[in-house]
Chains A and B, each alone.
Chain A
Amino acid sequence: MKLTPLHEKVTQRMQPGVLCLEGFLGEDRRPLPEIIDADSSAVAGMGLTHEQIADELSVVLRHAMAAMGTPVEVQQDLSAVYTEAMGRIPSPWPGEGVFAKGEAELTDTRTGTTVRFTPLSVHLIRAHGFYEGKGARYRLAPRTIAAMLRLI
């Protein structure tokens, strides 16, 4: 797949050590549009939109941030804790501003499933349908996160 200049630039900014130590793609070797297309298909296949998932994650983030590092139950059997960190991180897509660096850890206490995401993750899902590459620290597999948020 041929990448557009924008996708080339974004892919470069997603590499480890450019904007953050581990980057955004994990061990995923697929081209960026392919990662986005596959996750978009998965989201559409569940009858959902990226906006719905981003909205729910925003709610979780808001509750967790208000608890200042203390675990909080955001829904029944769903606990979240937000760890704040110094500084801000820009979006890999140029010109989209900077985002707080902290991370939320979301745990489904029924199944023990845990995922982590950041304010930037929510933006990337909403604006680009990008859930990060497989193996990335903040990868949110659409089906996993949709199930945890009780959207399916």
Chain B
Amino acid sequence: MTALYIILISAGVSAALSVLLATLLIVAERYLVNYGQCKIDVNQGAKEFDVRGGESLLAVLRNENIFIPSACGGRGTCAYCKCKISAGGGPLSPTETPLLSEEEIAKDIRISCQVKVREDVKLEIPEELLLVQEFTAEVERIRDLTHDIKELRLKLIDPPRIEFTPGHYVQLEAPAYEGNPEPVFRAYSISSPPEDAEHLELIVRLVPGGICTTWVFQHLSEGDDVHFTGPYGEFRLSETDAPMVWIAGGSGMAPFWSLLRHMKTHGIERQTRYFFGAVSKRDMFFLDEMKQLEEELSWFRFIPALSGDEPEGEWDGERGLITEVVGRHVDSGDGLEAYLCGSPGMIDASIAVLHEKGIPDERIYFDKFA
């Protein structure tokens, strides 16, 4: 019995010493280690500033109003905050390795939230990220589009206006709430047209167990303030006059809803067939709005399709997977451009159909929910 007590006490003392040591290391790192002033050079002098070393690169950039997309709030789990570090990043950490491909590692790509600034750093990010701003807005309206999709209409407060291109997205901050201890950020395509620069609309589909969408569906109310950064993204209309095929499903409607109204306002007339897939009628939305636009715009055709077993008489539109419907309607991809927005499965299957129709990769543009 005495031996057992000795073993238990030894184990307890050992564990306590380990915890104490770890705590001391964290405290020492936080308060005693002085990395001094470090110079941060973004995009070869496009922006330069000095910071006190010790913080993560992502945090340092954010403090300087440079917003690199990040979903996990710097926990090193989402792998979105990648940037190229040409000098001063230190060795690759074990938390970064699994999130980077060999090709990315060879090109000095790093996970910025996992890189601690300890010396002068030179990094490169897409030029447009330097234009990203942080916004505060008030929720002006929340409306149900379907049983699991909501539309948020935000009135911008600070800054009061936003400039973006249809196809751009923002990173909405879900604050800490009961069950969610820390803020997280999630990307949503802008669904309002850029002409309404004082407002922003987003289409949000509920993700079961999702941190941000649960907040939107269960905690967010009209009149609340929200924060987001943006605009981000490269998904946009090309500058050609090629006829187009659009393919989307669910909240993938967002960029096309923005683009369509933008095209109408500016008289951009390109032959467009918009294929929108859903499982059942209760998953469909904007049918009346699309019908109205079909009547107003001679160049636009909306082709909704249901893949589920909707009863006869309940639906007189197309039936089948959206890829099958596209296959039936598009005879040849000659000269066509394709724009896709939706889930990875839908996009991958659609790209396969578009290839069969002869549309090469360079004329397929997509925004994948990934």
Q: Give the B-binding residues of A (Cβ under 8 A).
A: 2, 16-22, 65-71, 82-90, 94-98, 100-103, 137
Q: Are B98 and A95 in contact (CB under 8 A)?
A: yes
Q: Which residues of A contact B98 (CB under 8 A)?
A: 94-97
Interface CB pairs A-B, < 8 A, 27: A16-B179, A17-B181, A17-B182, A19-B77, A20-B210, A20-B211, A66-B349, A67-B321, A68-B323, A68-B345, A69-B249, A71-B308, A83-B208, A84-B346, A85-B205, A85-B207, A85-B208, A86-B343, A86-B369, A87-B186, A88-B78, A88-B79, A94-B94, A95-B98, A96-B98, A101-B207, A137-B209
With A17-B211, A95-B94, A97-B99 as contacts: A87 and B370 at CB distance below 8 Å: yes
Which among B77, B94, B307 has the greatest number of chain A C-beta atoms within 10 A? B77
Indicate which residue in A71, A86, A87, A95 contacts B95 across the interface (CB closer than 8 Å): A95
Give the complex CA separation of A2 and B211 in angstroms. Answer: 31
Give the complex CA separation of A102 and B94 in angstroms. Answer: 27
Q: Are B307 and A85 in contact (CB under 8 A)?
A: no
Q: How many residues of B contact A (CB 8 A)?
A: 43
Q: Are A84 and B209 in contact (CB under 8 A)?
A: no
Q: Are B211 and A21 in contact (CB under 8 A)?
A: yes
Q: Are B77 and A17 in contact (CB under 8 A)?
A: no
Which among B343, B349, B370 has the greatest number of chain A C-beta atoms within 10 A? B343
Give the complex CA separation of A21 and B346 in angstroms. Answer: 26
Main secondary structure of the interface of A (DSSP, over half): loop
Q: How many Å from the CB of A119 to the closest CB on chain B? A: 11
With A21-B210, A68-B322, A98-B79 as contacts: A88 and B179 at CB distance below 8 Å: no
Q: Are A137 and B345 in contact (CB under 8 A)?
A: no
B187 close to A (CB within 8 Å): yes
Give the complex CA separation of A98 and B99 in angstroms. Answer: 8
B180 close to A (CB within 8 Å): yes
Q: Closest A-chain residue to B178, C-beta based?
A: A17
Indicate which residue in B71, B75, B94, B307 contacts A70 across the interface (CB closer than 8 Å): B307
Q: How many Å from the CB of B249 to the closest CB on chain A? A: 7
Q: Which residues of B contact A19 (CB under 8 A)?
A: 77
Q: Closest B-chain residue to A92, C-beta based?
A: B77
8 A Cβ contacts from B348-370 to A: 349, 369-370
With A21-B214, A68-B322 as contacts: A100 and B209 at CB distance below 8 Å: no
Q: Are B370 and A95 in contact (CB under 8 A)?
A: no
Indicate which residue in A17, A67, A97, A103 contacts B180 across the interface (CB closer than 8 Å): A17
Q: Are A87 and B181 in contact (CB under 8 A)?
A: no
Q: Are A84 and B343 in contact (CB under 8 A)?
A: yes
Q: How many Å from the CB of B283 to the closest CB on chain A? A: 8
Q: Are B186 and A86 in contact (CB under 8 A)?
A: yes
Q: Which residues of B contact A102 (CB under 8 A)?
A: 343, 345
Q: Which residues of B contact A18 (CB under 8 A)?
A: 75, 181
Give the complex CA separation of A87 and B171 in angstroms. Answer: 12
Indicate which residue in A69, A95, A100 contacts B97 across the interface (CB closer than 8 Å): A95
Q: Are A70 and B308 in contact (CB under 8 A)?
A: yes
Q: How many Å from the CB of B345 to the closest CB on chain A? A: 5
Q: Are B345 and A82 in contact (CB under 8 A)?
A: yes
Per-position contact with A for B1-30: 1 when CB-CB < 8 Å, else 0? Answer: 000000000010000000000000000000
Q: Which residues of A contact B186 (CB under 8 A)?
A: 86-87
With A86-B187, A95-B95, A98-B78 as contacts: A68 and B207 at CB distance below 8 Å: no
Q: Which residues of A contact B343 (CB under 8 A)?
A: 68, 84-86, 102
Q: Which residues of A contact B209 (CB under 8 A)?
A: 20-22, 137
Give the complex CA separation of A67 and B343 in angstroms. Answer: 12
With A2-B11, A69-B279, A88-B370 known, 13 other A-B pairs at CB within 8 A are A66-B349, A69-B249, A70-B308, A83-B208, A84-B369, A85-B205, A87-B187, A87-B370, A88-B78, A94-B98, A95-B95, A95-B98, A103-B208
Q: How many Å from the CB of A8 to the closest CB on chain B? A: 11
Give the complex CA separation of A95 and B92 in angstroms. Answer: 13
Q: Which residues of B contact A83 (CB under 8 A)?
A: 208
Q: Which residues of B contact A94 (CB under 8 A)?
A: 94-95, 98
B53 close to A (CB within 8 Å): no
Give the complex CA separation of A146 and B180 in angstroms. Answer: 33
8 A Cβ contacts from B292-313 to A: 307-308
